[in-house]
Amino acid sequence: MRNILFTLLLAIFKFDRMEWAIEKCTELGVSRFVPVVARRTDAHLALAATKRADRWRRLALQAAEQSRRVVPPEIAAPIKLQDAVNATGVASRIVLAESEGQVPLRDMLASRPEGEIVLAIGPEGGWTESELQSFQKSGWMSASLGNTVLRAETAAIAATALVVSALYLP
């Protein structure tokens, strides 16, 4: 695999599902997770996320050990979506959107991105229109996983598998 930092921005969703996504995406090769408070993030989940971050780090460490990764992924402290959207200096910033007419993620990855890849996965209920506009105004590319609507954890795992497989191709 090329030496590319792969960051997954995960809008905070129900903790059991969030833990499942972190575990499986760690096994697949995500370098860094950034939990994000989106507009549709449940208020009590947003408040409890900071306390859950230590548990997420332990789960990521265990998943990294199980999958024989030398270095476990970083689990950042939860941040507000606008702070994540405005991150600069990243080569490839992709937001998954359910909107029709988006480029399939696999096609976007065919261009063989270099440098860091940041992939944003929305909350249960998806990104709001204003959030998608913020991504667009900040230069993020929009991509889709297809015509079906996936649960947040399923989208995270499927998208991670696509990114990792693109990075492994010669």
Give the SS3 label for residue 56. helix
| Per-residue confidence (pLDDT) for residue 88, from 0 to 100 | 64
| Per-residue confidence (pLDDT) for residue 1, from 0 to 100 | 46
Looking at per-residue pLDDT, the higher value among 27 and 4 belongs to 27
Q: Are 119 and 7 in contact (CB under 8 A)?
A: yes
pLDDT band (50, 70, 90) for residue 169:
low
SS3 content of the chain, % helix, strand, coil (to 5): 45, 20, 40
| Per-residue confidence (pLDDT) for residue 101, from 0 to 100 | 62
Q: Are 7 and 33 in contact (CB under 8 A)?
A: yes
Q: Are 40 and 58 in contact (CB under 8 A)?
A: no
pLDDT digits (tens, 9 = 90+) for 85-119: 987 666 789 999 987 567 899 888 887 667 788 99
pLDDT digits (tens, 9 = 90+) for 33-91: 999 999 999 989 988 998 999 999 999 999 999 999 989 999 999 999 999 998 766 67
Q: What's the CA gap between 57 and 140, in Å, rounded?
A: 27
| Per-residue confidence (pLDDT) for residue 112, from 0 to 100 | 64
pTM confidence score: 0.91
Which CATH superfamily includes the segment(s) 6-168?
A: SPOUT methyltransferase, trefoil knot domain (3.40.1280.10)
pLDDT digits (tens, 9 = 90+) for 111-161: 766 778 899 999 999 999 999 999 999 999 999 998 888 999 999 999 999
Looking at per-residue pLDDT, the higher value among 167 and 67 belongs to 67
